[in-house]
Amino acid sequence: MKEEEFVQRVIENFVPRGGKHCITNSLKQIFEFYGYPISEEMLFGIGEGLDFTYINLAGAPMVSGRVKVGEFEAALSKRLGISIRVRQSKDYISAFHRAKEMLDSNKPVLVYVDMPYLDYLGMDEASHFGGHSIVLFGYDDEKECFFVSERDNSDYPIRTPGGPISEDYHLVSYAQMQKARSSNHRPFPANNKYLEFDFSGFRGIPKDTIVSSIIATCERMLNPPANLKGINGIAKFSKEVIKWGKFDREKLKRTGATNYFQINADGGTGGGIFRRLFGGFLIESAPLVQNAAALKVGQGFIVLASIWDTLAQEMWHLHETGEASLLDNMSAIIAQNYDMEERLLIRLQREFQATN
């Protein structure tokens, strides 16, 4: 065929969707494309996504409410009996051509990108995060751009530092995509990573898969490997936030903004530092596992998420003012979250260990 016949390629039966969290939204779209519709909440829970880590970075300490990039995908693959392989091209030219090959084969491509390099997100150029996922579902050689599905959609607006966005898809130039995909900035450098899927072993979501995911999540949260993680990490966060009083005003403002986006739904957490997603997973799972406690604890996590969101608003206030006087109240809110989260997890663990 003549080269001009390949100028533009868009997967017609791929439907871009908006969503709550980058990787679960990206996966939701891939799963749906291949005929396996699963909610973001269910994907998050089955993939044992809930976690907590206090990360004491020099520029601005930050918290994370989910497992590391890669660990989540591996757990989801194991639980569902499908193959999700993390691939990494040796250089961007190879990654570029591999993406186009997959699109030519009618396969949407889930890739990892460093967020500041995507102009539509309006992020500060120093706010690197290479664990962000998007889906490529087409390209146009004449315009030199990829068709990209992000978290936003016409019926699912999201707020970015540059303002709200609500596009069904974005056209991202080849130059921007090269910077975003080939970035090696920490944390979680993108390094030309993408995922390949094989659904031939998919076995549905039986009761034992849900139960084992819940038990594993409770175990990791209640018995973490380090004091910076799990329930211990939340307790440490309550103490460490007081020490932020030693920061200068600019660092306090930066730390407030960083942690606002790590907790609030604006940062792609689904709200309440992923606690709302986990609560939704438990509520959706309750009738499947025929367990009323899952429903009650799930509802408790929805309440807990709202308290985390209260903390996020305090973080935003810190960002706006740089006032150290806010820290005592923030510490008290975190301590309250610790107490409530520990009780919910213990109840959940006892219930499912007893029935397993």
Pairing mode, strands 132-140 and 8-10:
antiparallel
Q: Give bridge partners of residue 159 from the DSSP assignment.
A: 164
Kindly list the structural domains of the chain, giving each domain's residue range(s) and its CATH number in brackets, ordered by start.
3-37+83-198 (3.90.70), 207-355 (1.20.120)
Quickly list DSSP for 261-289: HHHSGGGTSSSTTTHHHHHHHHHHHHHHH
User: Residue 191 pLDDT > 50, yes or no?
Assistant: yes
Res 145 pLDDT > 70: yes
- The neighbouring-strand residues paired with 64 are 53
Using CA atoms, how far apart are residues 6 and 3, in angstroms rounded to an integer? 6
Model confidence at 6, pLDDT cuts 50, 70, 90, reads low
pLDDT at residue 307 is higher than 50: yes
Run of H or E including 227 = none
Confidence at 77, pLDDT banded by 50, 70, 90: very high
Mean pLDDT, rounded, of the chain: 94
Distance CA 291, CA 348 (A): 11
Angle among Cα 192, 258, 23 to the nearest 5 degrees reads 40
- Condensed to tens digits (0 to 9), the pLDDT of residues 340-350 reads 999 999 999 99
Residue 2 — very low, low, confident or very high, per pLDDT cuts 50/70/90?
very low
pLDDT of residue 353: 87
Report, as an integer, the average pLDDT of 228-234: 98
Rounded Cα distance between 66 and 256, Å, is: 19
Instruction: Report residue 292 as tokens.
Output: 């009323």
**Residue 137, φ and ψ in degrees, nearest 5:** -130, 15
Instruction: Quick: pLDDT tens for 237-273.
Output: 999 999 999 999 999 999 999 999 999 999 999 999 9
Report yes or no on whether pTM surpasses 0.75: yes
The pLDDT of residue 65 is above 90 = yes
